[in-house]
């Protein structure tokens, strides 16, 4: 039996102005001689005194899955354990997985939090909801904000709101402070790198090794020091880590939560069969489906994003890392169209943020391009990210029906947004390597449809309810419907 907390979806925090109903996914994998009808999933809410306050039971479906809910509105603020069990005939306990902690807190507590995640998996930082547009900056460090100012000024031509720089990964807070101070005028926030900060790893901080500082002490003092930095909203805890590192990373996560409660942790994985291993180990799961110079097609960006979201049952944020580098001399640097298409593939599939790897070494600087070529490539990323940023209010709005029919529904994947009192939007992409003609029928007629960012109108039929368009291989289109 496996349990996964669907809600609350951010560190077990149940805010008073949000739903008070906890939801847990239960998956039962019976043995060959088990009778599924005789098995029951049980969910208990245990108070601080160790007594069961609430309980719920349900028999798993034929496929072994079920979702148990628990209305906790009658319970006062405080800390509770949500404990799942599997019972057999005669209510005999068979298996008890690890429990989850639920903390009922006031909505007002968010005012003092640097960052939090709402029930729609949207990240709130700087006091407002954000669609994450992130960038890896692989560069060195200095001890004054002036060291970073020119570079950040160049980076900020794109509407970046979150950064990772794992060249600053030796767990010294005094190195981070000038960096984040330099970010402040540009509205950029930072994820500090703690990936693989374990003594047995060769790149463990040399100064900590010299001073015989263990991993727990190092992480605790680092997160405590950074907890007061309003620009540090979280931690980058794993970069394509093998699954054997998950237990250590989960332990590190507990230390970070204790030392910097109002933060997020982010790990990026590239093995879809291991996504489920990491889903309880981080607040945000990432996927990096690099496709150019590999055996994968561009649609792998959408496929891997979808698999990451499925692994967390759509109950945690997923951010997709888009390839912004040239794998080898036999591959190519992504074009602006490819950056556009890959970004919108991930967004269509439900990513709540996109990152780009990377601005520096082995990325934008790979192969020592001429200054003109380097700037040209970054300007293309600027164009793509500005297009995403301009639609941030739309991307943060809940999905809502726009179409009643899609003739190419198995090939053209869509995300639909009906903005109350405003326009409708259809975000879409072709997941095939062939050109596709698609016909869409709207739920209600429109006056005009424009292809966002393409400077063209799409022709509506006479009744204003149907339109057609053509998709090149792996192409993404965004339509504004008025």
Residue 50's CATH number = 2.60.40.1220
The CATH number assigned to the domain holding 408 equals 2.60.40.1180
Residue 117 and residue 37 share a domain: no
The rounded distance, in Å, linking the Cα atoms of 267 and 318 is 10
3-class secondary structure, 237: strand
Is the model's pLDDT at 420 over the cut of 70? yes
Residues 68 and 194 occupy one common structural domain? no
341 neighbors 429 (Cβ within 8 angstroms): yes
pLDDT for 32: 65
What pLDDT does residue 424 have? 97
Same domain membership, residue 234 and residue 368: yes
Range of the domain at 429: 403-481
Is pLDDT at 465 greater than 80 in this prediction?
A: yes
Residue after which a domain boundary falls, among 351, 374, 394 = 394
- CB neighbours (10 Å) of residue 447? 8
Same domain, 63 and 48: yes
Residue partners of 421: CB distance under 8 A and separation at least 6: none
In this prediction, residue 247 has a pLDDT band, given cuts at 50, 70 and 90, of very high
Query: Which of these ranges, 114-128, 132-146, 153-167, 231-245, has the smallest mean pLDDT?
Result: 132-146
- What pLDDT score does 33 carry? 66
Name the pTM for this structure.
0.96
Q: HSE-up of 32 (CA within 13 Å, CB side)?
A: 0
pLDDT tens, position by position, 146-180? 999 999 999 999 999 999 998 898 999 999 999 99
Residue 3 buriedness (CB in 10 A; 0-12 / 13-18 / 19+): buried
Q: How far apart are CA 200 and CA 195, in angstroms?
A: 13
Residue finishing a domain among 108, 127, 160: 108
- Indicate if 358 and 246 belong to the same structural domain: yes
Taking alpha carbons only, the member of 248, 258, 267 closest to residue 222 is 258
Residue 63 token pair? 């496929």
Q: How many domains does the chain have?
A: 3
Choosing from 335, 367, 394, the residue where a domain stops is: 394
- Same domain, yes or no: 302 and 287: yes
Query: Residue 48 CB: number of other CB atoms within 10 A?
Result: 10
């Amino acid at each position: 039996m496996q349990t996964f907390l669907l809600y609350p979806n951010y560190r077990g925090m149940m805010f008073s102005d949000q739903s008070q109903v906890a939801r847990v996914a239960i998956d039962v994998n019976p043995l060959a001689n088990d009778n599924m009808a005789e098995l029951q999933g049980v969910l208990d809410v245990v108070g601080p005194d160790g007594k069961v306050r609430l309980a719920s039971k349900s028999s798993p479906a034929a496929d072994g899955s079920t979702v148990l809910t628990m209305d906790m509105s009658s319970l006062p603020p405080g800390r509770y354990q949500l404990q799942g069990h599997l019972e057999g005939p005669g209510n005999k306990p068979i298996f008890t997985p690890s429990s989850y902690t639920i903390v009922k807190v006031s909505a007002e507590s968010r005012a003092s939090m640097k960052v939090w995640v709402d029930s729609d998996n949207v990240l709130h930082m700087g006091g407002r909801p954000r669609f994450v547009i992130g960038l890896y900056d692989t560069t060195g460090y200095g001890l004054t904000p002036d060291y970073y100012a020119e570079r950040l000024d160049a980076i900020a031509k794109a509407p970046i709101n979150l950064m990772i720089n794992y060249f600053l990964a030796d767990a010294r807070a005094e190195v981070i402070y000038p960096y984040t101070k330099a970010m402040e005028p540009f509205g950029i926030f930072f994820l500090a790198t703690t990936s693989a900060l374990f003594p047995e790893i060769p790149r463990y901080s040399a100064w900590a090794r010299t001073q015989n500082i263990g991993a727990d002490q190092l992480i605790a003092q680092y997160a405590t020091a950074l907890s007061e930095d309003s620009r540090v909203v979280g931690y980058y805890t794993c970069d394509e880590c093998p699954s054997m590192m998950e237990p250590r990373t989960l332990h590190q996560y507990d230390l970070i939560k204790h030392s910097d409660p109002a933060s997020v942790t982010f790990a990026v994985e590239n093995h879809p069969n291991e996504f489920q291993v990491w889903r309880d180990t981080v607040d945000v799961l990432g996927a990096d489906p690099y496709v150019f110079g590999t055996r994968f097609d561009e649609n792998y960006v959408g496929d891997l994003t979808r698999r990451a979201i499925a692994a967390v049952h759509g109950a945690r944020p997923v951010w997709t890392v888009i390839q912004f580098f040239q794998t080898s001399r036999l591959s190519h640097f992504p074009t602006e169209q490819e950056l556009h298409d890959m970004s919108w593939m991930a967004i269509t599939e439900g990513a709540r943020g996109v990152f780009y790897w990377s601005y520096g070494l082995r990325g934008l600087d790979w192969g020592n391009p001429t200054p003109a070529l380097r700037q040209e490539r970054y300007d293309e990323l600027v164009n793509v990210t500005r297009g995403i940023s301009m639609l941030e209010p739309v991307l943060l709005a809940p999905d809502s029906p726009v179409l009643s029919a899609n003739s190419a529904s198995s090939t053209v994947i869509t995300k639909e947004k009906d903005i109350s009192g405003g326009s409708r939007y259809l975000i879409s992409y072709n997941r095939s390597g062939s050109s596709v003609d698609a016909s869409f029928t709207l739920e209600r007629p429109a006056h005009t449809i424009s292809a966002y960012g393409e400077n063209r109108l799409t022709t509506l039929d006479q009744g204003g309810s149907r339109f057609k368009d053509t998709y090149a291989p792996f192409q993404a289109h965004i339509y504004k419907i008025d």
